[in-house]
Amino acid sequence: MKPDADTTIESAAIGAGHDGAAELVVNLRYPNGTVGPVVLDADIGFALLRTCGADSLNELKGHSWRAILESLHDV
Amino acid sequence: MYDVIITNGTIVDGTGARGFKGDVAIKNGRIAAVGKVDGTAKRTIDAAGRIVAPGFIDPHTHFDVQILWDGAARPALEHGVTTIVPGNCSLSLAPLKASDRKAVVGMFQQIEEMPPEAFTQAFTWTWEDFAGYRKAIEPGLSLNVAPLVGHSLIRLWVMGEASQQRAATPDEIAQMQDLLRESLKAGGVGLSTSYIDVDENGRPVPSRFAQFDELDALCEVLGEFGRILQVVPEFYDADLTIARIDQLAELSLKHNIPTTFSPVFDSPATPKNSPRIVARVEEQFARGARVWPQMQTRPVDISFSFLRPSLYFARLPTWWRTLRQPLEQRNASLRDKEVVAKMLAEADTNMMTQGMGILVIRGGDNAPAGYVGRTLAEVAKERGETNSQALINVSLENDLDVAFLAENVGHADTSRIGPMLAKPSVHIGASDGGAHITSFSTYGDTGFLFSEFVRKSGDLTLEQAVKKITSDTAEIWGLADRGRLAPEMAADVVVFDAATIGRGAERAVFDMPGDGMRYVRSATGIDTVLVNGEVAYAAGDYTAAKAGVVCV
């Protein structure tokens, strides 16, 4: 198992960006129990939903953080 | 004889001291006396029942282009703003070689959202160096300008296209130092840089290709002048922002310079971020560093149209999948009864239909005038539709080019923001005046400070609020003779009604070159604004006064 294999998406919410665009705020739970946010723009946010096959933000929970990496290449 | 005496007002002098009844006398553009003033004047302004305060200073604007044809930076001046700082986020309009103008115009259009005509019809390009830009703006100024020198411009001048490709060589860094030195001598208030901005093609702006030794070398020059460094950090990530705070602290200590970063805003999606950032700043202040976080007063809104998919619909999979289709297919789907039925059902199931009612219809290019400024709920009721039906149909009827606004989605919790704004370590700024002009209004943040955080929440006293946006700002930015009502200081004065000062409703106007649209807010409660002793705004009108200067 890779050291970071169990870093997973804890939750996701819509936030308001500085420029008036909606952003996707994804909270990651790290192996040591820490939870921290990653903010994604619309293109990457939608790509993450697609990558995870998620129909809603709740369905992102439990997916590996690597889905975000894949999404970066999917826009 | 004085030039002007402002009589009978309550003087709030910008120091934070309690307001007191008295007069302010002005002569030759300077404050001549404050308190009980004897003598006569060419002009007397009765300020009975009003506050007399130093003019407000807006430290984060992008008025670089607008002040070439509008020296009042409308509507900034009518909000009591007498000094603006343009050139933020690594982008200024000088130094700029003629051959590089097109590239920089693209960067400005990305940030400011100004129409192309603003750069081709509204003024004549007469300059390349910073002194030339100063000469171009200064004759027309109704307010004061303390312009930053953009790091991206410095880099572009020295490195050309390579400025967006690679790190600089030692020789190039030395050339940048010389150019910055020359620009500061010509009136630059400091240097701005950015770690997040992109050009019109989505490429990082030149400053983002700089390595630390380059920034360090430029800060060495700032140290020679005691000038400020403004930075846009990776504000979407608190950890990266904190790393930048630490970096700025080292630069501040090493070169004995003030630094500031923006924006800092409070989001319910990341509630720990802003308190962490402020706490880190305070740790660095305790070490002797000067790292000022700029926090805006106004809430953050979300705006969108069906022309560009928004994460606003992320909870509604049929909606976002439909709206992410190519335009032709998107239009077809939105006219497909089955698809629309599914969308409407999904919105109902997710409790979104009712929530959509608070959306405000805005002035997209095709927005019907009768709808602009009204809530979707009002329009839906008038049309006999549900909110979600109206959202789809109003968009379809107008080629999808109707904008909608979800107000106060972020940075809107006064109980959290008020105490942070009141902290001595927090610099009120980040208005972005003159930027994002077709997305939302960046004017009136000073009025909102008084209406929301003085009158409504009481987090700041009137005197504290005035101090925050006058003498505190002047001190941070090294504007030695501004920000206080005291003898010998520049006579930048605003007379306002403490009970009504605020910002009006956001509205679309078409006053940009080429009839370009932007959102603005008018001021409320501002009676009179004087810049360097001359009345620049009074009784709801701008005067012909052009007393503004480049002030450093």
Question: Chain A: residue nearest B409 by CA?
Answer: A16
Q: Is the pLDDT of residue B362 over 60?
A: yes
Residue with tokens 């010389």: B178
Closest C-alpha among B117, B131, B162, B11 to residue B494: B11
By DSSP bridging, strand B30-35 and strand B41-46 are unpaired
One domain for residues B213 and B274: yes
User: What pLDDT was estimated at residue B353?
Assistant: 85
What is the least distance, in Å, from the CA of A61 to any CA of chain B?
14
What is the C-alpha separation between B95 and B368, in angstroms, rounded?
Answer: 43
In a domain, B48, yes or no: no
Instruction: Please report which confidence band the pLDDT of residue B231 belongs to, taking 50, 70 and 90 as the band edges.
Output: very high
Contact B300 A37 (CB under 8 A): no
Q: Last residue of a domain, which of B408, B424, B459?
A: B408
One domain for residues B294 and B416: yes
What is the least distance, in Å, from the CA of A24 to any CA of chain B?
7
Chain B neighbors of A13, CB-CB under 8 A: 268-269
- Kindly report, residue by residue over B464-504, the tens digit of the pLDDT: 999 999 999 999 999 999 999 999 999 999 999 999 999 99
In a domain, A1, yes or no: no
User: What pLDDT was estimated at residue B46?
Assistant: 97
Residues of chain B with pLDDT > 90: what percent?
83
Q: Is the pLDDT of residue B204 over 80?
A: yes
Q: Give the three-class secondary structure for B106.
A: helix
In a domain, A3, yes or no: no
**Helices B130-137 and B170-185 meet at what angle, rounded to 10?**
30
One domain for residues B198 and B268: yes
Q: Select from A16, A38, A46 the Cβ nearest to the Cβ of B309.
A: A46
Q: Is the pLDDT of residue B332 over 80?
A: yes
Burial of B327 (0-12, 13-18, 19+ CB in 10 A): exposed
What is the C-alpha separation between B540 and B522, in angstroms, rounded?
Answer: 10
Largest CA-CA distance found in chain A, in angstroms, rounded? 41
∠ CA(B305), CA(B307), CA(B312), 5° rounding? 45
User: What pLDDT was estimated at residue B209?
Assistant: 98
Q: Is the pLDDT of residue A5 over 70?
A: no
What is the least distance, in Å, from the CA of A11 to any CA of chain B?
10
Residue in A9, A18, A51 to test binding to B, most B beta-carbons within 10 Å: A18
Q: Which residues pair with B524 in a beta bridge?
A: B502
- Kindly report, residue by residue over A16-65, the tens digit of the pLDDT: 888 888 999 999 999 999 999 999 999 899 999 999 999 888 899 999 99
Q: Last residue of a domain, which of B408, B423, B441?
A: B408
- Does the pTM exceed 0.80? yes
Torsion of CA B391, B393, B398, B399, to 10 degrees: 100
Residues of chain A whose beta carbon is less than 8 angstroms from a beta carbon of chain B are: 13-25, 36-39, 42, 45-46, 49, 55-57
- Kindly report, residue by residue over B101-135, the tens digit of the pLDDT: 999 998 988 877 878 888 988 999 999 999 999 99
Question: Chain A: residue nearest B270 by CA?
Answer: A37
In a domain, B14, yes or no: no
Chain A neighbors of B356, CB-CB under 8 A: none
Chain A neighbors of B411, CB-CB under 8 A: 16
Contact A46 B410 (CB under 8 A): no
Read off φ and ψ for residue B303, nearest 5 degrees. -125, 150
One domain for residues B209 and B63: yes
Say if B267 is an interface residue toward chain A (CB within 8 Å).
yes
3-state helix, strand, coil in chain A (%, to 5): 30, 30, 40
What is the C-alpha separation between B45 and B32, in angstroms, rounded?
Answer: 15
Q: What is the DSSP string of B279-314?
A: HHHHHHHHTT--EEEEE-SSPEEEEEBTTB--GGGT
Q: Is the pLDDT of residue B50 over 90?
A: yes
One domain for residues B246 and B354: no
Q: Which residues of B461-477 are buried (b: 16+ CB within 10 A; e: fewer)?
A: ebbbbbbbbbbbbbebb
Q: Is the pLDDT of residue B365 over 80?
A: no
ipTM of the shown complex: 0.85
What is the C-alpha separation between B31 and B10, in angstroms, rounded?
Answer: 16
- A vs B: CB pairs below 8 A: 90
Q: Last residue of a domain, which of B392, B408, B424?
A: B408
Dihedral angle sign, alpha carbons of residues B382, B386, B388, B390: negative
Question: Chain B: residue nearest A45 by CA?
Answer: B311
Mean pLDDT in residue range B348-352: 84
Mean pLDDT in residue range B163-191: 98
Q: Which residues pair with B534 in a beta bridge?
A: B531
Q: Is the peptide bond before B95 cis (omega within 30 degrees of 0)?
A: yes
One domain for residues B149 and B268: yes
Q: Is the pLDDT of residue B234 over 70?
A: yes
User: What pLDDT was estimated at residue B426?
Assistant: 98
Q: Select from B302, B308, B311 the Cβ nearest to the Cβ of A24.
A: B311
Contact B309 A22 (CB under 8 A): no
Read off φ and ψ for residue A57, nearest 5 degrees. -65, -35
One domain for residues B149 and B244: yes
Q: Are B210 and B169 in contact (CB under 8 A)?
A: no
Residue in B110, B239, B308, B311 to test binding to A, most A beta-carbons within 10 Å: B311
Q: Is the pLDDT of residue A4 over 70?
A: no
Q: Is the pLDDT of residue A3 over 90?
A: no
Total of domains in chain A: 1
Closest C-alpha among B9, B3, B50, B14 to residue B486: B14
Question: Chain A: residue nearest B236 by CA?
Answer: A39
Both tokens assigned to B63: 């008025």
What is the C-alpha separation between B303 and B358, in angstroms, rounded?
Answer: 12
User: What pLDDT was estimated at residue A1?
Assistant: 43
In a domain, A2, yes or no: no
Q: Are B70 and B38 in contact (CB under 8 A)?
A: no
Mean pLDDT in residue range B454-470: 98
One domain for residues B274 and B225: yes
Q: Is the pLDDT of residue B545 over 90?
A: yes
Instruction: Please report which confidence band the pLDDT of residue B352 belongs to, taking 50, 70 and 90 as the band edges.
Output: confident
In a domain, B364, yes or no: yes
What is the C-alpha separation between B312 and B334, in angstroms, rounded?
Answer: 17
In a domain, B29, yes or no: no
Most confident among B339-353, B460-474, B496-510 (mean pLDDT): B460-474
Q: Is the pLDDT of residue B449 over 50?
A: yes
Closest C-alpha among B9, B80, B82 to residue B502: B80
Which residues, other chains included, contact B43 with Cβ-Cβ below 8 Å and sequence gap of 6+? B3, B4, B5, B535
One domain for residues B493 and B399: no
One domain for residues B376 and B438: no
Chain B neighbors of A24, CB-CB under 8 A: 311, 314
The number of CA neighbours under 13 Å toward the Cβ of B332 is 5
Closest C-alpha among B139, B57, B137, B129 to residue B100: B129
In a domain, B7, yes or no: no
Contact A25 B309 (CB under 8 A): no
One domain for residues B338 and B286: no
Closest C-alpha among A34, A32, A26 to residue A63: A26
The number of CA neighbours under 13 Å toward the Cβ of B61 is 30
Contact A15 B269 (CB under 8 A): yes
Contact B267 A16 (CB under 8 A): yes
By DSSP bridging, strand A22-29 and strand A35-40 are antiparallel
Say if B198 is an interface residue toward chain A (CB within 8 Å).
no
Total of domains in chain B: 2
User: What pLDDT was estimated at residue B267?
Assistant: 87
What is the least distance, in Å, from the CA of B520 to any CA of chain A?
15
Say if B238 is an interface residue toward chain A (CB within 8 Å).
yes
Say if B315 is an interface residue toward chain A (CB within 8 Å).
yes
One domain for residues B319 and B452: no
Say if B235 is an interface residue toward chain A (CB within 8 Å).
yes
What is the least distance, in Å, from the CA of A38 to any CA of chain B?
7
In a domain, A44, yes or no: yes
Domain span at A68 = 8-72
Domain span at B388 = 302-408
Q: Is the pLDDT of residue B411 over 90?
A: yes
